[in-house]
Structure 1
Amino acid sequence: MGRVVTLGEIMLRLSTDSGVRIAQADNFCAHYGGGEANVAISLANFGHDVYFASKIPDGLGEGVVKHLNRYGVHTNFLLKGGSRLGTYYVEAGIGERAANVIYDRAGSSFAEMTESEWQKEELFNNVDIFHISGITPALSSSWKKTTISLIEAAKEAGCKISFDINYRGKLWSQKEAGETISEILPLVDYCSAGKLDALYLLGIPEATEQENELVYYYQEIRKKFPAISVLYSTKRTVVSASCNELIGTLWMDDHYYESQNHVINPIVDRVGAGDAFSGGVLHGILAQKSPQEMIDFATAASALKHTIHGDCNQFSEPEVNSFLLAGSGKINR
């Protein structure tokens, strides 16, 4: 199996119960979550040797260590220091009302870092994949520079670079994101990017007449950033906050692949489903699965994530494979 380093911010997540608004809540369900940490947990569940790099304070930070260790993620590169752990609140959606996220992450130990505090030679030694997302450079001007320098160091050490664009409009503008991401993508090998990223962040013209417009967007992204060898995203049909349809898509070796359509009803918790999908794709790359096997597995992992509370996927590779073989809703005896 592979050796992977993921790097980003992990936060305390406080969620309301379904049907309860944040302003009226008298209790919250606590979890830890963050895009790169969620990917690390997925990959550890699938049997890989995974390290998560971040910075956390004492006190609440101890819960983060226990959370990651519980799933087999190594915390050797989890720095201690700073004054607070970032927090975010999730108001659960239901029916026609979408979920709502409120961030309280300013001044966190990770966000306040002004430069890399890791020994890069040690961080990237014998690492197959370095995974990071667009959330990290969105945190500050310092993190924009640090993100690029870390990616360059990983590339120099021989790592493949995995980047999830993961645009968050509450953190930066489309213009700012597009400029920074366009500087990062020439260094990237595996990228999570979809139609909206192509249109609004990467400046790719809208498709006119195309039987499958995603093929067009993937081709145009590859023309602009030829170092990218794998592109992937999901096509999600939102029937309601409680019912979605999900198809995984993959562009690899100049061919387009799609998974079956997963009807997820009811959704228990959608947060982290994209990270489960990314983890599934990276697992497929490391395990040298065929492209079709890769996208089927990744989409199944994402569909399963919708069925559990919290940010992270909690299913092993045999469990995902069993789900694929059995089909939706059948009892495993």
Structure 2
Amino acid sequence: MKKIVTFGEIMLRLSPPGWKRFSQANSFEVVYGGGESNVAVSLANYGLPSEFVTRLPVNDLGDCALMELRKRGVATSNILRGGERLGIYFLETGAVSRGSKVVYDRAHSAISTIQPGMLDWEKIFQDTQWFHWTGITPAISQSATDVCLEAIQVANRMGITVSTDLNYRKNLWNYGKHPEEVMPALVEGCDVILGNEEDAEKHFDIHPEGVDVTQGESMNAGAYVSVCQQLMKRFPRCKKVIVTLRGSISASHNTWSGMLYDGTKMYEAPTYQITHIVDRVGGGDSFMGGLIYGLIQYENDLQKALDFAVAASCLKHTIFGDANLVTIDEVEKLMAGDASGRVSR
């Protein structure tokens, strides 16, 4: 089977144990993760050949990030070594009515100074069927944007499916460019677009009507059909638009679903009640990993592909860390309606 390649930044995540606040922390728990690396880990975990491409510093932390990827079965042979440092983010995990909080410390990270021409994308994309990137990478720096565009254009020429998770991060866009100036040129080369209720609005001023995500209601999938249609009209190459549907009852209790629009029909997944969230970071990445797996394995059954993505990401909320470490059997068990959580022995 041909491989799936993802490109972006992997970081060191530091978080106080449990649900402690930063001001209570005497120690931090260590996790390595990032939007695109998390997708690669999911796919490797499902048995698909996956490769992550990035730039890591030549130091112990860069080595640790590399070891984490290799431990999860992700190919790393095209990762560049160089640059100043590994990016860090600090996570304070929220609970009940107190939301989670993220503090970034990623300025001058190794990937932020990557330059076009450093990576031989034609060589990397040999025997590749799918390339995935997210809106986080072009938010890092202009040079990271340029390399991402370079990859997309080569993938387009080689007939490789290209997907993106729009992933708007307001705290990252600080190098002088706004998303609406940068993202359109990148998204023009995408066959599959994933987003949520905020991404399309912040990147392209496209938004659903009558939805207020701060009120905690479950998202109505029907409200997003117009968003999908507008995205497809603006980006004619796109064949599928997928929207994650998260209703935030509290930081500990979310509803979770998704919809897929293929230009003619809208598919909607079941809605799950995630009542005791362990870790929601990486929830969207686990959805994307499940979606890519589903679209490859069940290419003629879009409903099943979507259902797999939603069930996989629902289970991710029960796992500490950025990456989704569930098995195909566990996902399929939930898809079949077994949410009992009974001991397997």
TM range, smaller chain: over 0.9
Once the two structures are overlaid, the 10-residue window that deviates more, 220-229 or 114-123, is 114-123
Q: 2:189 maps to what in 1? A: 187
Shift of 1:211: 8.9
Distance 2:336 2:80 in 1: 41
Q: Is the 8 A contact 2:229 2:263 kept in 1?
A: no
Distance 2:84 2:228 in 1: 42
Q: 1:302 maps to what in 2? A: 313
Deviations 1:25-64 (A, max 9, x none): 1011100010000000011111111110011122111111
Deviations 1:227-251 (A, max 9, x none): 1111112111111111111011111
Choose which of 199, 213, 224 in structure 2 pairs with 1:214: 224
Q: How does 1:40-51 map to 2 (within 5 A)?
A: 40-51=40-51
Q: Which runs of 5+ in 1 are unaligned?
A: none
Shift of 1:19: 3.4
Q: Which runs of 5+ in 2 are unaligned?
A: 212-219
Shift of 1:186: 1.6
CA RMSD of superposed structures (Å): 2.0
Q: Is the 8 A contact 2:87 2:105 kept in 1?
A: yes
Shift of 1:194: 3.1
Q: Is the 8 A contact 2:97 2:251 kept in 1?
A: yes
Q: Is the 8 A contact 1:18 1:94 kept in 2?
A: no
Q: How does 1:42-121 map to 2 (within 5 A)?
A: 42-57=42-57, 58-121=59-122
Question: Residues 126, 22 of structure 1: CA spacing in aligned structure 2 closer, same or farther, 3 A cutoff?
Answer: same
Distance 2:111 2:162 in 1: 21
Distance 1:253 1:177 in 2: 25
Counterpart residue type for residue 276 of structure 1: S
Counterpart residue type for residue 277 of structure 1: F
Matched, 1:324 2:335: yes
Shift of 1:110: 1.3
Aligned with 2:110: secondary structure? coil
Q: Is the 8 A contact 1:195 1:217 kept in 2?
A: no
Aligned with 1:111: secondary structure? helix
Q: 1:226 maps to what in 2? A: 236
Number of aligned residue pairs: 333
Q: 1:270 maps to what in 2? A: 280
Once the two structures are overlaid, the 10-residue window that deviates more, 197-206 or 35-44, is 197-206
Question: Residues 12, 259 of structure 1: CA spacing in aligned structure 2 closer, same or farther, 3 A cutoff?
Answer: same
Question: Residues 78, 291 of structure 1: CA spacing in aligned structure 2 closer, same or farther, 3 A cutoff?
Answer: same
Deviations 1:246-281 (A, max 9, x none): 011111252111111111120000000100000111
TM-score (norm 1): 0.95
Deviations 1:59-94 (A, max 9, x none): 111111221111110011111112211110000101
Q: Is the 8 A contact 1:18 1:93 kept in 2?
A: no
Aligned with 1:187: secondary structure? coil
Deviations 1:288-331 (A, max 9, x none): 34111011100011011000100000012222112222521242
TM-score (norm 2): 0.91
- % of aligned pairs identical? 38
Q: 2:198 maps to what in 1? A: 196
Q: 1:134 maps to what in 2? A: 135
Q: Is the 8 A contact 1:248 1:258 kept in 2?
A: yes
Q: Is the 8 A contact 1:194 1:214 kept in 2?
A: no
Q: 2:217 maps to what in 1? A: none
Distance 2:303 2:167 in 1: 24
Question: Residues 11, 192 of structure 1: CA spacing in aligned structure 2 closer, same or farther, 3 A cutoff?
Answer: same
Aligned with 1:6: secondary structure? strand
